[in-house]
Amino acid sequence: MAGLSSRMWVDTDFIKRLPNLPSDVQKAAQIAVRKTNQWFRHITMTELGYELAIDNKAALRSRFKVYRQGGVRARLWVGIRDIGVHRLGKPVQQKEGVAVGERFFEKAFISPMNSSELLVFRRTGKHRSQIEMVQLDIADEAEEIIGSYQADLNRKFEEIFTREFHRLYST
């Protein structure tokens, strides 16, 4: 799974019903959509980082991408594939496995394996070459957190649109 498959929409249809208003309405709506998308990225990334005890700067920033699509549209891509546990903090080798942050992974070991970072691996078989990177599944938590913000998304858009509209007309 490369990204979140569900879609969330901000209701901007009211702008189409107001064709006689100046182009500033369109401009305010574009700014509001962009700012709403940035707010949504920030709030979901922060909450997911808190829920999973992940430093969102290191592990989550590359998994939340904002795309502008012109007009009154914007898109937020969320990568929900598993995260390598080496991104949770500095891995420390211990007798029974590897500790990363507050988590402990039994029978794991640290190795750079053609990387500049220390990665955490686990053996999957008896042979030396049968290893896999230890990863943390974030898909369920990400979908739950993102889905919980649908009602807030429209409310936040209306709030930002009103603020931008007043800002454009007050100057």
What pLDDT is attached to residue 16?
A: 61
What pLDDT is attached to residue 67?
A: 76
Domain co-membership, 63 together with 37: yes
Domain co-membership, 73 together with 97: no
In Å, how far from its chain's centre is CA 64?
4
- Boundaries of domain holding 34: 23-81+138-170
Per-residue pLDDT of the chain (171 residues; tens, 9 = 90+): 444 545 566 666 666 655 555 677 778 888 888 898 889 888 988 898 888 887 656 678 777 777 776 666 677 788 888 888 888 888 999 999 999 888 899 999 998 888 888 899 998 888 878 889 999 888 888 888 888 887 788 889 889 988 988 887 776
Residue 148 lies in a domain: yes
Whole-Å CA distances, 77 to 10, 64, 113, 161: 15, 6, 29, 22
Residue 146 lies in a domain: yes
What's the pLDDT tens digit per position in 118-135?
A: 899 998 888 878 889 999
Domain co-membership, 28 together with 110: no
Domain co-membership, 75 together with 97: no
Dihedral over alpha carbons 22, 23, 28, 30 (to 10 degrees): 150
Domain co-membership, 130 together with 147: no
Domain tally, the chain: 2
What's the pLDDT tens digit per position in 143-158?
A: 888 888 877 888 898 8
Domain co-membership, 147 together with 123: no
Give the pTM.
Answer: 0.74
Domain co-membership, 129 together with 103: yes
Domain co-membership, 104 together with 63: no
- The two beta strands, 91-93 and 97-100, are antiparallel
